[in-house]
């Protein structure tokens, strides 16, 4: 987070960085309007390129490379929004308990992020371009809490002109960001699991990513302890929700799990976890 937003001077001037690194993106979700942001946001850049009627060669290539190398490891180790949610989850409070019924619900709701990716990030910006000659980054403008928390609120506080221009949309986005902040205290990474289109993109690469969790099929007894303890509600190691945090490695009693590069691959054959209540 500090590396992504290292241009500290802009925090005092209320402007955004003009770092030459803004020609390229960081792999995690980090709004390029954050005063300190030294590089561009991949999701914002994707939407903006499509909204200009261009095929996003650079961003697609970048996401493909990052996804194939790391998969959703980006979410656990490289994304500031993930970090903020994990820090909020550490606040002592009652936590939403994992049950079989809730698991079924969360798995279905987690498909929402693919809809956000397809509709708000790709289809609608391009449709607006076709209609009006210029589209709009709809996910950024309607949903993204990273933009609100990292950029919107600091810039509105620092810049009087922006403060006067803030209206209903700003109120909506601030309220939505507050919902995610509060939700993150009680549930693990709700934005990553249910909303983030960038997580949706990287999830496509989870099965083939070079960095992953390896399951030793000879040592594995299919006890299901790994997925039972998983806070991302995975059904199997390395599935689309797996962020390669490595917590399951600690719960496996048979040392069947290991992580690292060239470790990823097909997961254990699907079997209903015994340990889920």
Partner 1 sequence: MRKLAVFLLLLGTGLLAAGVFLGDTAVIFRKAVFVCLECIGIG
Binding site for partner 1 (CB under 8 A): 15-18, 20, 22-25, 31-33, 37, 39-41, 44-45, 48-49, 52, 54, 56-65, 67-69, 136-137, 140-141, 144, 147-148, 151-152, 155-156, 162, 165-167, 169-174, 205, 207-210, 264-266
Q: Is 104 helix (H, G, I), strand (E, B) or coil?
A: helix
| Min dist. Cβ of residue 231 to partner 1 (A) | 26
Tokens at 140, concatenated: 């950024």
- What's the rounded Cα separation, in Å, for the pair 227 and 182? 25
CB of 39 to partner 1, least distance (A): 8
Return d(Cα 241, Cα 243) in angstroms, integer: 6
Query: Closer CB to partner 1, residue 40 or residue 225?
Result: 40
DSSP state of 150: I
**Distance between CA atoms of residues 175 and 179, nearest Å:** 6
68 vs 229, beta carbon nearer partner 1? 68
* CB nearer partner 1, residue 105 or residue 134: 134
* Of 10, 1, 5, 74, the residue nearest 38 (C-alpha): 5
Q: By C-beta, is 32 or 191 nearer to partner 1? A: 32
Say how far apart CA 32 and CA 38 lie, in whole Å: 8
In 10 A of CB 16, how many CB atoms?
A: 18
Beta carbon of residue 191, minimum distance to partner 1 (angstroms, whole number) = 16
Output the smallest distance, CB 68 to partner 1, in A. 4
Q: How far is the CB of 271 from partner 1 (least distance, A)?
A: 21
Alpha carbons 39 and 220: distance in angstroms, whole number: 42
Nearer to partner 1, 47 or 110 (CB): 47
């Amino acid at each position: 987070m500090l590396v992504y937003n290292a241009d500290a001077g802009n925090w005092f001037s209320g402007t955004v960085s003009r770092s030459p690194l803004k020609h390229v993106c960081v792999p995690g979700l980090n709004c390029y309007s954050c005063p300190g942001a030294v590089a561009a946001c991949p999701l914002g850049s994707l939407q903006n390129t499509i909204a200009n009627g261009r095929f996003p060669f650079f961003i697609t290539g970048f996401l493909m490379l990052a996804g194939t190398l790391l998969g959703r490891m980006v979410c656990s180790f490289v994304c500031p929004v993930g970090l903020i949610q994990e820090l909020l989850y550490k606040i002592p409070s009652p936590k939403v308990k994992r049950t079989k019924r809730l698991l079924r619900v969360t798995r279905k709701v987690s498909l929402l992020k693919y809809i956000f990716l397809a509709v708000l990030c790709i289809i609608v910006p391009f449709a607006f371009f076709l209609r009006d000659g210029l589209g709009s980054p709809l996910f950024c403008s309607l949903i993204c809490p990273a933009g609100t928390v990292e950029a919107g609120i600091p810039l509105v506080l620092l810049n009087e002109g922006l403060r006067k221009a803030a209206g209903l949309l700003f109120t909506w986005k601030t309220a939505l960001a507050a919902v995610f902040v509060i939700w993150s205290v009680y549930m693990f990474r709700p934005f990553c699991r249910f909303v983030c289109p960038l997580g949706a993109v990287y999830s496509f690469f989870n099965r083939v990513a070079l960095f992953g969790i390896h399951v030793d099929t000879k040592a594995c007894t299919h006890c299901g302890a790994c997925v039972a303890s998983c806070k991302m509600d995975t059904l199997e190691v390395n599935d689309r929700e797996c962020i390669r945090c490595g917590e399951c490695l600690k719960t496996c009693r048979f040392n069947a799990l290991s992580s690292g590069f060239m470790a990823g691959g097909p997961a254990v054959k699907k079997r209903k976890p015994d340990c889920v209540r």
